[in-house]
Structure 1
Amino acid sequence: MTTQDIAVDSKVTVHPVSLALGARLEGVDLTQPIDEPDWAVVRQAFADHSLVIVRGQDITVDDQRRWAQGFSELDLPEGVSPLEMREHTSMFTLEGHPDTLALHNNADRRPGLDHWHTDNIGFVDPPSATVLYAKVTPALGGDTLFASMHLAFEALSRPMQVFLESLDAVHDMRQAFRNPMLEEALRKKGIDPDEHFARHEPAVHPLVRTHPVTGRKALFLSAPHTTGIVGLSDKEARTLLQFLFHHCEDPAFQYRHVWQEGDVLVWDNRALQHLPVADYHPHERLMFRMSVSGDVVRRG
């Protein structure tokens, strides 16, 4: 089924933004509840393109939360919020909204992330999606690149695909936070990075995951987090992972988003990696981020 098949009763239109991934949605007003025919088109576009973009929005935290909750495709246990929050990001939490991060950079706070990654892959239940709202953007710079891990997997030879499908990778959140700026921010909030991450054992996930909605296979790894492969020697794992990290950065798999104030993006962490380009210091950039809960990653 495609968005054209289900769009008869909807005012939402879908416009792909690249051959690799991503679609812009028109006919969506996030200040208002969205009816089910429109949600059907939005969810199908998300499944088809892994990234959906809504422009020109002036929304509240509650508006963003309502939008984010519409992407929860999983049956969650009773009492569990579809928006996940982790203690290690508490230094960014928006006051009064523990499910919302305020990512604010300016002359006094340099951007700290400038590498390809998948959000929170080092947990047993990484978030299925990220929702990011651009409140303030620099005049130039601050773009975000996205890469399709579906395309990255499909571009490999069949023997390599079969080999990778048999493997599990190890992901360590502590490794990803070995960054002086992030460690300092944690300590200012009273969190000792070594003590905090010592409580989190590295997570093990299939190196190739099957998307629970589309059934499409994707590479599932993240250079800042992924430290090894079960059953391989350190040397073998390093060699294979370096090949895959480089392979995932192929421009043929990518879309580059140039942010405008009022943009709201939702991307599928089960299918994409992203790279926030840290090239805009000392200019101001303010984003509000929410994450949609995921589940334990499964191979099939």
Structure 2
Amino acid sequence: MSVEMPVRLRPALVPADGVLEGPRVLRRLPEGVEERPYELFALRPLGRVIGAEIHGVDLGEPVSPVLRAELNRALLEWKVLFFRDQRITPAQQRAFAAQWGELETNPFIPKGDTDEVTRFSRSASMPGYENIWHTDVTFRPNPALGSVLRLVQVPPVGGDTMWADMAAAYDNLPADVRERVDGLTAVHDYLPGFDRFSDPVVLAGFQDEFPPTEHPVVRTHPETGRRTLFVNQAFTTHIVGLDRAESDRLLRLLFLQAHVPEFQVRFSWRENSVAFWDNRATQHYAVNDYHPHVRIAERVAIAGDRPF
């Protein structure tokens, strides 16, 4: 006599959080772009779609037009580049970043030794607060193109930084969600990102200079043409045209895409390591696991254009 076994139904492929299980679409290059070797430096990938170490480039030396072009191609293809053992001054760091455009400052963070060099000093008395997935300064009408970050003092353990490829995040959204978000606009505001650690009176003084601004939920990268998810938990407050409950549900789903490990690279710092990332294509997260040790970094940000 046979015993009929109960039928076990497989869970839906698209869970409630909208993060697909199983194989990912891990496309690093734009459609139609073929892999090409680099001629002026060696490149070692650290992730499948994002992150690579560059060897054979001294950031303290002048950057020739041909080297700048090849580094820019690497930046577009890998989204974040890492350089080891770069004993450079803040002025040299600034000069390197300036090869990519006008530099900008963040009014909410103290400057370093020179104009446009921001120093991040984190210790037990001033703990890190960048441990949230975010894209820099999306509260500006023209968010930053990218940043060049150098670690001046590294804790003995911990203090890594993670980056997520937001083109891969967009590619892997369920098809109906991609269709839903294409064409939507979201509001970005500096207050949610800074009110956790800043004086409310000081923050209020910037409201005229930095009113809330709108950006597309999915932007087109101006150089690669890739579609990238362009909302982040630090600064995106709501989606235009949706009621608050629906906006919150959709944003929670979109924020979670940066958390998928297949879209990420994690970098372990050493003193005088440098990261150069494309802020138009990525989010990043500074892991806050090193206290009471000190972590000091200096960053130069490059002004960007209006997302479209």
Using structure 1 for the length normalisation, give the TM-score.
0.87
> What's 1:137 paired with?
154
Distance 1:163 1:214 in 2: 23
Can you give the 5+ residue segments of structure 1 that lack an aligned partner in the other structure? 73-81
Can you give the 5+ residue segments of structure 2 that lack an aligned partner in the other structure? 1-32
On the 8 A contact 1:2/1:44 being kept in 2, the answer is no
1:88 CA displacement: 2.1
Deviations 1:75-124 (A, max 9, x none): xxxxxxx11113222xx2114x2201111112332212211111101110
Distance 1:58 1:120 in 2: 28
> What's 2:112 paired with?
94
Answering whether residue 45 of structure 2 is matched by residue 26 of structure 1, we say no
Deviations 1:11-45 (A, max 9, x none): x1222111030111111011211223322221110
> What's 1:200 paired with?
210
Answering whether residue 280 of structure 2 is matched by residue 276 of structure 1, we say no
> What's 1:183 paired with?
198
The structure that is helix-richer by fraction is 1
Identical amino acids, percent of aligned pairs: 33
Q: 2:172 aligned to 143, 155, 166, which one?
A: 155
Q: Give the AA of the match of 1:23.
A: A
Q: 1:4 aligned to 28, 33, 36, which one?
A: 36
On the 8 A contact 2:60/2:96 being kept in 1, the answer is no
Q: Give the AA of the match of 1:55.
A: R
1:199 CA displacement: 4.3
Greater Cα radius of gyration, structure 1 or 2: 2
1:131 CA displacement: 0.8
Q: 1:255 aligned to 265, 272, 275, which one?
A: 265
Aligned length: 276
Q: 1:67 aligned to 76, 82, 96, which one?
A: 96
Distance 2:272 2:57 in 1: 13
> What's 1:83 paired with?
103
On the 8 A contact 2:167/2:228 being kept in 1, the answer is yes
Using structure 2 for the length normalisation, give the TM-score.
0.85
